[in-house]
Amino acid sequence: MKTRLPWLALLLAACLGAPTLCMAQDVAPQQHRVSVRVLDPGAAPVSQWRVKVYVSYRPLVEGSPNTTETTTSRANCATPSRFGSIVPSFKRCTLTRNRGVQQMLPAAQIKAADAQTLNLDFAPVIEDHGGTFAIADLVLAYMTCAKDCEDQRMDIRLSCYADDVDHGEVLADGVVLSYSRGAKAHPGVADCGLKLGDETTWSNRDTVIARIRGHFGDEQQMLSHDLLGTFPAIPTPDNRWLWNPARGNNDLGDYCAIPDQQSYVNSTYYATLPPSVGWPYHHETEVYVTSKPSGEVCTIWLTGTGDESYVRYFYNFADGQLVKAYTMDEPDDVSREWRWVNGEPWEFTRRQVPDSIAGHDAILYWHKTAAQLWPKRMDYKPNLKEFAAVRDFAQQLFTRFPAKSKADDAQQ
């Protein structure tokens, strides 16, 4: 998740720029640690990051002394009905709530283990104004360079309920998180750790491995909506993670970004296309082109005509190279998707919607990285000649249908 954080200012030069001064060590006996390991091989070393870490605490024991706050005001009074009241009330009500504590982690407790890993060491239990508080959550705010980089924020989700804690690594926001505890840390937080990674944006090995398969049917109905392209990395059989180069690229901003103050340009053609793998339908088509103001083509969209007007094919380009092609509403309720990385076929999905509302999508699936790592699980392989034919056809479209200028549109 990304957001603007104008207060982000701490440069970790002392520790990260001089690792001999702040080399990573084992977690201190009284502390807990979250390790943040960057997966993107093209990411800047953590020594170039600017970082702040906020740590939130909640009462260790609900209702214990000095862990609550009591206020008296009209705002505390419950509304008498769902529609409120037109008669003003000056009644004041008293309400007691749990008190939370937030601290910023000192720079000395943010250490580089290596060029890709930050260790965040913190006290799992603190005293504040006579009350005892336990760790609740962490927020990592960072920029990946000294200046002129986007402010980014990662919510590191923790839990202290044994059945909701992940005992392995968690994959989130392009990093792998792990949790460790000092040998003499407070026993009241012995169960605390990373929240269970059972979501697509907060996942563990099992969550991702469940998507490594060549065929999906009714038994996988809860998994098949989000396949491996959703995740930034693929788990390996030897308990590592490999960066997923075929992730994302679903939105224009992912593969063909423009500055906030600019707008995309849309062009329309009416054309006759030769029969091909890339368009096996009536020759007459409508062609829509979305491009940057500079004229760089981002997407070419084909729509059928006549009784095939529901059929649509999309071709997405990044820097002039095809990165994704996909179809919608083909006959028999079929849709297909091809992805490329650096010109190489990398991912293929074929979905077919069932005839009845009781069934679920029948899916054939292939992902190059996963197939190499888990060949018995990824037991389907697409026709690579079809990949080549789709790519060749997309290149013909790219050459034949450039973005139009405003003058061209005015003449039509």
Q: How far apart are CA 195 and CA 156, in angstroms?
A: 9
For each of the chain's 412 residues, which pLDDT tens digit applies?
444 443 333 444 444 443 333 555 788 899 999 999 999 999 999 988 999 999 999 999 988 999 999 999 988 887 665 555 565 677 899 999 999 999 999 999 999 999 999 999 999 999 999 999 999 999 999 998 877 788 899 999 999 999 999 999 999 989 999 999 999 999 999 999 999 999 999 999 999 999 999 998 766 677 778 899 999 999 999 999 999 999 987 889 889 999 989 999 999 999 998 877 778 888 899 999 999 999 999 999 999 988 888 999 999 999 999 999 999 999 988 999 999 999 999 999 999 887 655 556 789 999 999 999 999 999 999 999 999 999 999 999 999 999 887 555 545 4
Beta-carbon contacts of 70 under 8 Å, excluding residues fewer than 6 positions away, are: 94, 95, 96, 97
| Cα–Cα distance list, 395 to 114, 116, 250, 264, 401 (Å) | 42, 38, 20, 21, 10
Where do we find the tokens 């979501």?
Answer: 199
Helix or strand or coil: residue 349? strand
Beta-carbon contacts of 73 under 8 Å, excluding residues fewer than 6 positions away, are: 92, 93
| Residues 258-315: tens digit of each pLDDT | 998 999 999 999 999 887 777 888 889 999 999 999 999 999 999 998 888 899 999 9
Cα–Cα–Cα angle for 164, 170, 173, rounded to 5 degrees:
120
Q: How far apart are CA 350 and CA 214, in angstroms?
A: 10
Cα–Cα–Cα angle for 383, 386, 391, rounded to 5 degrees:
135
Beta-carbon contacts of 339 under 8 Å, excluding residues fewer than 6 positions away, are: 229, 246, 249, 323, 324, 345, 346, 347, 348
Which runs of consecutive H residues, i.e. helices, occur in 277-338? none
| Residues 104-140: tens digit of each pLDDT | 999 999 999 999 999 999 999 999 999 999 999 999 9
Beta bridge partner(s), residue 23:
112
Beta bridge partner(s), residue 219:
none
Helix or strand or coil: residue 42? coil
Both tokens of 359, joined, read: 């069934």
| Sheet of 32-38, strands arranged across | 110-114, 117-122, 32-38, 175-181, 170-172
Q: How far apart are CA 369 and CA 352, in angstroms?
A: 24
Global pTM reads: 0.85
Both tokens of 339, joined, read: 């992805």
